[in-house]
Amino acid sequence: MATETTLYLVRHGLAGEHGSYANDNERPLTEAGQQKTRQVAHRLADLSLKFDLILTSPLVRARQTAEILMDVGLGQQLEEFSPLAPNGRIEDWVGWFSSWKPGKTGCLALVGHEPGLSTWAETLIWGEAKGAIALKKAGVMGLLLPKTGSPVGHSQLFWLTPPRFLLG
Amino acid sequence: MATETTLYLVRHGLAGEHGSYANDNERPLTEAGQQKTRQVAHRLADLSLKFDLILTSPLVRARQTAEILMDVGLGQQLEEFSPLAPNGRIEDWVGWFSSWKPGKTGCLALVGHEPGLSTWAETLIWGEAKGAIALKKAGVMGLLLPKTGSPVGHSQLFWLTPPRFLLG
């Protein structure tokens, strides 16, 4: 039976200054970034969110963000997914998604970067991206994907929030 | 000096059943609709939102919603704006907006209906609407409009929330 998937996109939290690490992939969350990301994670748990699977960019700041989501019990499972790294292609994710079997919640989370995540979201919603969505660090987006067929250009946006409006 | 305007779109709260009133324009918020709208309004005030002006659809359920926003001190001023009624044209609002003088906050709120509000939002963001945004009753959207020129196709979406994710 075809089921609807709810897709959550989470941008990594505040990380060290760009250029502060020889390899940008290693740049970790700052202390403040970890703290706010943890607050966001707790808030998502309070809202009863639960993901069958969390896919994360392999970069340290994203990986750490995804681990914080796991720590508070939001995900059943965590996997690295290389197309979530900067400049990753949504086509690779769409291919992966076409054979993904959702679990009990039907909810999938992607942890990554900007402008990648909002570009992917726009592509899912409108079929193309115009840079018209702003996703803050540790911000969250929610999309409802169609039951059948490609989600590209056929998804619906129901949630987009910066941390400050989520945490108050 | 050109200033950025932040535009908030608020959908009216839960109202009586469609068809329960001879004139649909008179259909009021239910008791539960009033209560949830009041909770949303208090939450917006807690988040330090403040509007120079609230424009509302003249229909009773929207007007009541706007009055609740005013009651908790969110707006400096409330005016009815007939293009916010169902099937109103965004062109009429864009014309109005081009000569609007923002006040201290630079924030403007529109209270209206679906699918009108999300159609307007999509038009502001992407230049056209595809029905790809879901705005729940008493839900809120936030858009950043450009400093100069037409906002159509040049605005940015930074917030979209159903009441349940706002209130928790």
Residue B19 has a pLDDT of: 78
Classify each residue of A113-151 as buried b or exposed e, where b means 16 or more C-beta atoms within 10 Å of its C-beta. bbebbbbbbbbbbbeebeebbbbbbbbbbbbbbbeeeeb
Distance from CA of B130 to the nearest CA of A (A): 7
SS3 A99: coil
Q: Which residues, at least 6 apart from B126, have a Cβ–Cβ distance to it below 8 Å? A: A126, A130, A132, B153
Q: What is the rounded CA–CA span in Å between residue A76 and residue A103?
A: 9
Region A77-86 average pLDDT: 98
Q: Do residue A158 and residue B134 have CB atoms under 8 angstroms apart?
A: yes
CB nearest to B46's CB, from A47, A166, A168: A168
Residue B2 has a pLDDT of: 63
Residues from A contacting B (CB-CB < 8 Å) are 43, 46-47, 125-126, 130, 132-134, 136, 144, 153, 155-162, 164-166, 168
Q: Which residues, at least 6 apart from A51, have a Cβ–Cβ distance to it below 8 Å? A: A8, A69, A74, A75, A76, A105, A107, A108, A109
Count other Cβ atoms within 10 Å, centred on residue B53. Answer: 19
B72-115 tens-digit pLDDT: 999 999 999 999 999 999 999 999 999 999 999 999 999 999 99
Distance from CA of A89 to the nearest CA of B (A): 22
In the chain, the amino acid numbered A94 is V
Rg (CA), chain B: 15
A105-123 tens-digit pLDDT: 999 999 999 999 999 999 9
Q: Which residue segments constitute the domains of chain B, with CATH numbers given?
A: 5-165 (3.40.50.1240)
- Alpha-helix runs per DSSP H in chain B: 31-46, 60-71, 90-97, 116-126, 163-167
DSSP 8-state symbol, A3: -
A130-148 tens-digit pLDDT: 999 999 999 999 999 999 9
Residue B16 has a pLDDT of: 82
pTM of the model: 0.96
Q: What is the rounded CA–CA span in Å between residue A67 and residue A12?
A: 11
CB nearest to A159's CB, from B144, B155, B160: B160
Q: How do B140-145 and B78-80 pair as beta strands? A: unpaired
Per the prediction, chain B carries an average pLDDT of 95
Q: Do residue B158 and residue A162 have CB atoms under 8 angstroms apart?
A: yes
- Which residue in chain A is spatially nearest to B140 when comparing CA positions? A159
